[in-house]
Amino acid sequence: MSSTIIVGFFALAGGEHVKTVKANSLTATYHCVYNTVIQCTSGVLFPASLRVYSPYKDMVLPDDMVVFVIAKASIPASVPEQTILLEAMWVVAVPGDPTSETYEASVPDFPYPVVIGLGSVSSQPRVLSDGTSRAFTVLSSDYVRDSRLESSVRWVFF
């Protein structure tokens, strides 16, 4: 068993309500899908798409709304060329009007998400240029967007 979970605060944009019908099924499921980014401590931003289960008549959250998210993730090896897919398990919106000048002050100072990974180490550790940090790749998979998708994450230990 393996899994990649991302926990953090994300600003949303471009939300849309979508209908999904699985193959060989007549049952429709509805989701809201949003564009967002995953910000790293190095300042690099990776594009991401957050899918949230949503009843049929739910409203899409407005652009620039910040939400706290716990999500399963599919992080392709070709990031940033491919978008990171997030499948929400828990979403809570930061209250307030995202167009207000004071909205950002109500958002907790937690700019970098936490990535929790359980998987298989697929490479030997490499010593980085600082001489002490080590990096290696971990492969995992999780059920994201109605199928089991792989994640490939390079972990660095200082």
Give residue 11's domain range.
3-117
- The answer as to whether 147 is a domain residue is no
- Read off the pLDDT of each residue in 20-46 and give the average, rounded to a whole number: 89
Task: State the total domains in the chain.
Answer: 1
| % residues pLDDT > 90 (the chain) | 53
- Cβ 57 vs Cβ 90: under 8 Å: no
Give a yes or no: residue 67 inside a domain.
yes
Give 100-111 pLDDT, tens digit per residue: 999 999 999 999
Q: pLDDT per residue over 121-158, tens digit each?
A: 877 877 878 887 777 777 777 778 777 777 777 666 66
In a domain, 148, yes or no: no
Confidence of residue 7 (pLDDT cuts 50, 70, 90): very high
Q: Is residue 80 part of a domain?
A: yes
Alpha-carbon distance values, 53 to 47, 95, 129, 155 (Å):
20, 20, 43, 30
Q: Residue 43 falls within a domain, yes or no?
A: yes
The pLDDT score that the predictor gives to residue 37 is: 96
Q: Is residue 54 part of a domain?
A: yes
Q: What is the mean pLDDT of residues 59-78?
A: 93
Integer Cα distance of 83 and 133 in angstroms: 27
Contact predicate 69/50, CB 8 Å: yes
CATH number, domain with residue 91: 2.40.50
Name residues whose C-beta falls within 8 Å of residue 43's C-beta, 6 or more positions apart in sequence: none
pLDDT the model gives residue 127: 82
Report yes or no on 155 lying in a domain.
no
With respect to residue 146, please indicate whether it lies within any of the assigned structural domains: no
DSSP run (H or E) holding 121: strand 120-121
